[in-house]
């Protein structure tokens, strides 16, 4: 065969082989998805160990907080309140902030002290003639801030004036204010105060200066907080429709001259559980806890008063004063497993439950923060009361106890229960 023909045949065979290979490659199956590693299981059989596919999608980073303080881009609290946006976190650096009143109108706002507790000193100024801070946003949370010295011409200057929405105050301090916290009268409002301290009401009799004054709002919760050194006004006054007063220390102290330690002037539904409540020898009112003195405001009214320790340093008094002459005569009052220390009367309510309410000499009590609040472990009172049950689905047994100076700790309940706030 001539050489030229052989070359032509070779070239043709090469081209045909390439076409076959190309066609074969086109018919290859696509690469299978990765299902995981193949391993031999305990039974000796091969199995696929699945694995979640890796992803490079980055999670959105949380927005940086708005930092406030000397040397920061935003130097004053007043300016921060003007610049803040919904959903933002405001961090206020430690230090004294004089005359920096503010109005907060944003929703889903968190305002917190950072690097120590900043102190808001009124220094003669107020927001809208009402308070150091006015809050009327949506949901607002205030943490680790101190408020001092609020004074206004109407004599009810507050550390915080709460006018709209839902407000949570946690780990804060309120001292020397005409009102610590003062609320508006809006059924849609909710106030929660946790692990905070209130004290040192102004020494004037020109008006009633309450450490907390809750207006006719929907719900008020007070937990793990301490009140002392009132004067003329009350430690806690609430007109709320629903109240949960849990595991607090409301004790006026030796220098205090408060009126009531706890009052619900318009009734409402109140759960008062696991508190230590005490009036001083210089009290302005011999009753420690009062309910219904100004008549009803709400359609539902009941008081559930359980496992509280009540201390009276006055020469006489009433541990619980329910004004059935102002409320309906058949108002439901449950007073269960409370412990009274000192002289005074604990009257049985006209309707409800009254059981396990016992007394103890002051000398037999153990002190917590200088307050005779706790029964010794080997006290004959142990096992003298029964489990109190629940009301409207709310347990009347204290699942926690106040922890000095503020806060709570889990209650240590055994089979032999004690009356009062501490097990």
Domain spans, the chain:
185-410
Give the integer Cα–Cα distance in Å for 199 and 209. 11
Is 90 exceeded by the pLDDT of residue 320? yes
- Whether 319 and 285 have beta carbons less than 8 Å apart is answered as no
Under 8 Å CB-to-CB from 75, ≥6 apart: which residues? 68, 69
Q: Which pLDDT score, from 0 to 100, does residue 192 have? A: 98
- Token pair of 422, please? 């501490």
Is 80 exceeded by the pLDDT of residue 407? yes
CA-wise closest residue to 283 among 323, 255, 248: 255
% residues pLDDT > 70 (the chain): 85
For the whole model, what pTM was predicted?
Answer: 0.85
Q: Which pLDDT score, from 0 to 100, does residue 120 have? A: 98
Total Cβ atoms within 10 A of residue 24:
9
- Grouping H, G, I as helix, E, B as strand and the rest as coil, residue 374 is strand
- Whether 191 and 183 have beta carbons less than 8 Å apart is answered as yes
Per-residue pLDDT reduced to its tens digit, 118-153: 999 999 999 999 999 999 999 999 999 999 999 999
% residues pLDDT > 90 (the chain): 81
Per-residue pLDDT reduced to its tens digit, 261-283: 999 999 999 999 999 999 999 99
Is 60 exceeded by the pLDDT of residue 336? yes
- Whether 156 and 126 have beta carbons less than 8 Å apart is answered as no
Q: Which pLDDT score, from 0 to 100, does residue 41 have? A: 47
Q: Which pLDDT score, from 0 to 100, does residue 58 have? A: 52
The pairing of beta strand 139-143 with beta strand 166-170: parallel
Banded model confidence at residue 21, pLDDT cuts 50, 70, 90: very low
């Amino acid at each position: 065969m001539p050489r030229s023909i052989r070359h032509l045949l070779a070239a043709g065979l090469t081209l045909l082989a390439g076409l076959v290979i190309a066609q074969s490659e086109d018919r290859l199956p696509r690469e299978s998805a990765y299902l995981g590693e193949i391993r031999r299981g305990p039974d000796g059989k091969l199995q696929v160990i699945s694995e979640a596919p890796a992803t490079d999608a980055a999670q959105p980073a949380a927005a940086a907080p708005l930092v406030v303080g000397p040397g920061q881009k935003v130097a004053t609290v007043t300016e921060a309140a003007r610049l803040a946006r919904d959903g933002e976190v405001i961090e206020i650096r430690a230090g004294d902030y004089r005359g920096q009143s503010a109005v907060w109108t944003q929703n889903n706002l968190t305002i917190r002290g950072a690097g120590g507790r900043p102190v808001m000193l009124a220094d003669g100024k107020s927001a809208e003639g009402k308070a150091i801070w006015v809050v009327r946003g949506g949901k607002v949370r205030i943490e680790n801030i101190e408020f001092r010295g609020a004074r206004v011409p109407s004599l009810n200057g507050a550390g915080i004036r709460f006018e709209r929405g839902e407000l949570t105050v946690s780990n804060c301090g309120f001292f020397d204010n005409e009102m610590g916290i003062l609320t508006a009268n809006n059924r849609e409002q909710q106030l929660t105060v946790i692990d905070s301290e209130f004290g040192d009401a102004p020494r004037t009799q020109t008006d009633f200066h309450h450490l907390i004054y809750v207006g006719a709002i929907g719900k008020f919760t007070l937990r793990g907080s301490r009140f002392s050194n009132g004067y003329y006004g009350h430690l806690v006054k609430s007109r709320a429709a629903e109240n949960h007063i849990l595991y607090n220390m409301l004790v006026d102290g030796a220098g205090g001259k408060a009126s009531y330690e706890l009052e619900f002037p318009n009734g409402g539904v109140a759960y008062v559980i696991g508190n230590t409540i005490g009036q001083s020898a210089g009290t302005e009112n011999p009753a420690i806890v009062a309910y219904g003195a100004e008549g009803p405001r709400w359609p539902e009214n009941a008081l559930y008063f359980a496992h509280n320790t009540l201390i009276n340093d006055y020469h006489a008094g009433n541990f619980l004063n329910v004004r059935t002459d102002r409320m309906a005569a058949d108002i439901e009052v449950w007073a269960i497993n409370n412990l009274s220390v000192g002289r005074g009367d604990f009257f049985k309510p006209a309707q409800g439950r009254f059981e396990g309410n016992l007394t103890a000499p002051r000398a037999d009590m153990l002190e917590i923060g200088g307050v005779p609040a706790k029964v010794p472990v080997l006290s004959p009172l142990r096992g003298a009361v029964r489990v109190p049950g629940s009301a409207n689905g709310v347990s009347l047994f204290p699942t926690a106890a106040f922890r000095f100076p503020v806060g709570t700790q889990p209650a240590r309940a055994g089979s032999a229960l004690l009356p009062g706030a501490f097990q």
